[in-house]
Structure 1
Amino acid sequence: MRVGLIGIGQAGASVVDKFAEEGYETLAINYSLSDLNSCTHIQNKHLLIGSEGVGKDRSLATSLMQMNWEKTVEVVKEQFSQTSTKLIFVVFSTGGGTGSGVASIFLDLLNSELEDKVVVAVPILPHKSESAISHMNTLECIRELSEVDVCILPIDNNKSSSVNKLSLYKEVNESFFTTLNQIITQTSLTSPYSNLDQTDLIKLFSTVGWSSIAQLNLANMNGQVNLSEESIVDQISSSNGIFMSVNESKIIRLGLTFYGQESLMNLVNTSSILNKFSNHPLDIFEGWYPNLSQGYLRLIYTGLSFDTERLGKIEGKTISDSETLENVLNQSHKVNVKSQVNLNKPNKQRKALSSILEKYKK
């Protein structure tokens, strides 16, 4: 199975550029030629017409798509024409202009036009330090995405431990690549117990709604905590890494893989993991792969609701920043000077040339 990735806007293309470096089929889409040129590994790039960048103006990006959508869909069809390409991940920032403004209509079009492929949205949520505009754009983008019938796998920049943007972007890009690459690679493994194969993965990512991924290395945990079914379930709740936290109000499908020692395998109980949800999933896909030294547990949740706590933080940040900015913007920019200083130079008194010369006589 081949997997394709599309990066919309600068942030999306930056993530996808790492996949291009490792040989994946990729495409970058942007209004800005300079942003497209910054992708050093993506060979296939599509320049949207109408503006040289949109400056975080998502409404402008959306309106300009009216003159771009037909050609863009044609480019995507041509780029990912091989029948073996079954999954296409579309990565974009919710806080910017191009990605945020273009993604929903683009995903809707692709989902309709690419009948033989599964399209997955990968929105990147902003870090709490990002601007009020980024958070406002995010709210609008989330609202629109929730009306598109695709699987949505949010990356949450707020989950990063990095203190500066350069480290944050590098950490998130590397983590997303490593996770998705391992998931795809693992579908080719065989096991005497149970396999999560390519068909299962496609079924997982064809589930409409929000999704998340949790990962635990039980081999590293062993000895640090008293491993048990209960402790593993407790740790899973905080093991989403860069992905959105799980809303436990509902779940449609679950993918579970364990790659590791059989002694640790015996501590992983699927029923216990699912007890925190309000319902039992429609499908459970499992892969159990014995290994003498590892202990890697991964969970893919699909068909979720959006994380209500995270949504509240985005809304709170937007309201708080909006009120502050409104007060600032309403203040006059005029400068009132209370005291005046006479900066006029005293008038020169012109001296007679003969008097100046007389001064230097000896």
Structure 2
Amino acid sequence: MVKSIGILGVGQAGGNIAEIAANMGFQTALINTNQRDGIVNKRVEKKFFVPGYNGAGQDRAIGLRAVNENYREIISFVQDTFKNIKLLLVAFSTDGGTGSGMSPLLIDLLLDNLPGINIGAIAVVPDRNVLAGNRINAAECIEEISKIDSLSSVFLVDNDQLRKLSPQSSKHQIYLSSNHQVMEAINNVLQVTKKSSFYGNFDETDLMNILGTRGVTIIASTAITDAKTSADVANKIQQSWVNSIFCPVESTGVIRAGVIYEGPEKMANLINVPGVFERVGEPLELFEGTYILESDPTITTILAGLPFPARRMKALEESLEKNKERLQNLVKKEHTQKYESRISWASNLKAKPQERKTGSITSKLSKYQK
């Protein structure tokens, strides 16, 4: 069965997310300025490599230029690739050159050229260990994404969340884990919409209503096996938001939400919706699904329409602010630095090859006459 969500990976990180999505049966494609990056994503069959480019070298301006010069071909590629989907999620890293530079403009263009399809984003936010250039890219990219009208759900995958949980993990391990977790979260809620229940279904229309909401979205699941009270359940759900792979919820303002319960009937009675949403505010619309199973009880929540995380972005930007003068001087230095030698006078002391002077035979003969 064709999934109603498609994944378009842009840049290396986006291509890696699309690779995982392809393994799960999603329609996928990737766009890159560097063919060597995208060629390793063997499960993604549809690929567009921007002609005349060999990567963006962490420069967002190059990614932006790639879209400006090739937008007709790129839009046509996307239109031809994705069929019978209701939501297209554009996946990319915010701190690089290709994905970060291309994606905001590309999303804006696709909103006008894919009628009937919602467009959202899976945007990867870097961890605290990245350098100044990556932080600048991420801040610029997220600001641009936040200003796009008619954009659907933005999933902000926060690598810092995994860094906190696994401080000894390599960058590759963190990237791989976060990419898998975001696609598993999306795939799991999509699979729930295919299930039937006597107690209330969470169907595809419910999911699309939630994911069509403009703003930041998170999906989180938690087991409630040892919960004894409604307060226990609410605390576990709220803690799942804190421990998810997405940027932490910072403030109230959920617009649409979903609550999906799977497990024994007796535990379902402990779900108290007002208590669950006490910290983030009751949503404008709530979609619920209850599936009675003889398995460990789990609750999955979807929060959509959240504000962009100002505190998380401040943490990303604060080291730039602290080092503002030094960073500005570095940029200035690149264009002005030079070295003045103090021994320019010594240039005349260099050994020079002897010049051979020629004379007439007569002069040479007379020179040696005694």
TM-score, length basis structure 1: 0.85
In 1, Cα distance between equivalents of 2:326 and 2:231: 45
> What amino acid is aligned across from residue 228 of structure 1 in structure 2?
T
Q: What residue in structure 2 maps to residue 124 of structure 1?
A: 124
In 2, Cα distance between equivalents of 1:320 and 1:164: 27
Deviation of 1:328 after TM superposition, in Å, equals 6.1
Which protein shows a greater Rg?
A: 2
In 2, Cα distance between equivalents of 1:242 and 1:335: 53
Q: What residue in structure 2 maps to residue 354 of structure 1?
A: none
| Aligned 8 A contact 2:224 2:236 in 1 | no
| Aligned 8 A contact 2:125 2:159 in 1 | yes
The aligned runs of 1:52-63 (5 Å cut-off) are: 52-63=54-65
Q: 1:210 aligns with which of 205, 209, 216?
A: 216
CA gap 1:336/1:176 in 2 versus in 1, 3 angstroms: farther
* 1-10 vs 71-80, greater mean Cα deviation: 1-10
Q: Check if 1:250 corresponds to 2:253.
A: yes
Could you say what secondary structure the match of 2:115 adopts?
coil
The aligned runs of 1:237-276 (5 Å cut-off) are: 237-240=238-241, 241-276=244-279
> What amino acid is aligned across from residue 67 of structure 1 in structure 2?
E
The aligned runs of 1:111-260 (5 Å cut-off) are: 111-148=111-148, 149-150=150-151, 151-160=153-162, 161-162=165-166, 163-219=169-225, 222=226, 227-240=228-241, 241-260=244-263
In 1, Cα distance between equivalents of 2:61 and 2:322: 22
Q: What residue in structure 1 maps to residue 88 of structure 2?
A: 88
Q: Percent identity?
A: 29
Could you say what secondary structure the match of 2:108 adopts?
helix
* 117-126 vs 317-326, greater mean Cα deviation: 317-326
Could you say what secondary structure the match of 2:240 adopts?
coil
CA gap 1:194/1:321 in 2 versus in 1, 3 angstroms: farther
Deviation of 1:276 after TM superposition, in Å, equals 1.9
Deviation of 1:167 after TM superposition, in Å, equals 1.1
Deviation of 1:302 after TM superposition, in Å, equals 0.8
Q: 2:71 aligns with which of 58, 69, 72?
A: 69
Q: Check if 1:24 corresponds to 2:26.
A: yes
> What amino acid is aligned across from residue 246 of structure 2 in structure 1?
F
Q: What residue in structure 1 maps to residue 40 of structure 2?
A: 38
Q: What residue in structure 1 maps to residue 322 of structure 2?
A: 320
For residues 267-309 of structure 1, the C-alpha deviation after alignment (integer angstroms, 9 at most, x for no partner) is: 111111122234x322111111111122111111111101222
Q: What residue in structure 2 maps to residue 282 of structure 1?
A: 284
Q: What residue in structure 1 maps to residue 357 of structure 2?
A: none
In 2, Cα distance between equivalents of 1:319 and 1:198: 44
RMSD: 2.1
CA gap 1:333/1:291 in 2 versus in 1, 3 angstroms: farther
| Aligned 8 A contact 1:132 1:322 in 2 | no
Deviation of 1:13 after TM superposition, in Å, equals 0.7
> What amino acid is aligned across from residue 168 of structure 1 in structure 2?
I
Q: What residue in structure 2 maps to residue 351 of structure 1?
A: none
CA gap 1:71/1:269 in 2 versus in 1, 3 angstroms: same
How many residues align? The count is: 329
Could you say what secondary structure the match of 1:128 adopts?
coil
In 1, Cα distance between equivalents of 2:65 and 2:219: 34
CA gap 1:265/1:324 in 2 versus in 1, 3 angstroms: farther
Could you say what secondary structure the match of 2:217 adopts?
strand
Q: 1:294 aligns with which of 276, 290, 296?
A: 296
Deviation of 1:325 after TM superposition, in Å, equals 4.1
| Aligned 8 A contact 1:259 1:289 in 2 | yes
> What amino acid is aligned across from residue 275 of structure 1 in structure 2?
E
CA gap 1:30/1:263 in 2 versus in 1, 3 angstroms: same
> What amino acid is aligned across from residue 252 of structure 2 in structure 1?
S
> What amino acid is aligned across from residue 300 of structure 2 in structure 1?
R
- Flag as ranges the 4+ runs of structure 1 deviating above 3 A: 320-337
Q: What residue in structure 1 maps to residue 11 of structure 2?
A: 9
In 2, Cα distance between equivalents of 1:48 and 1:12: 15
| Aligned 8 A contact 1:132 1:321 in 2 | no
TM-score, length basis structure 2: 0.83
In 2, Cα distance between equivalents of 1:64 and 1:132: 24
| Aligned 8 A contact 2:19 2:44 in 1 | yes
Could you say what secondary structure the match of 2:220 adopts?
strand
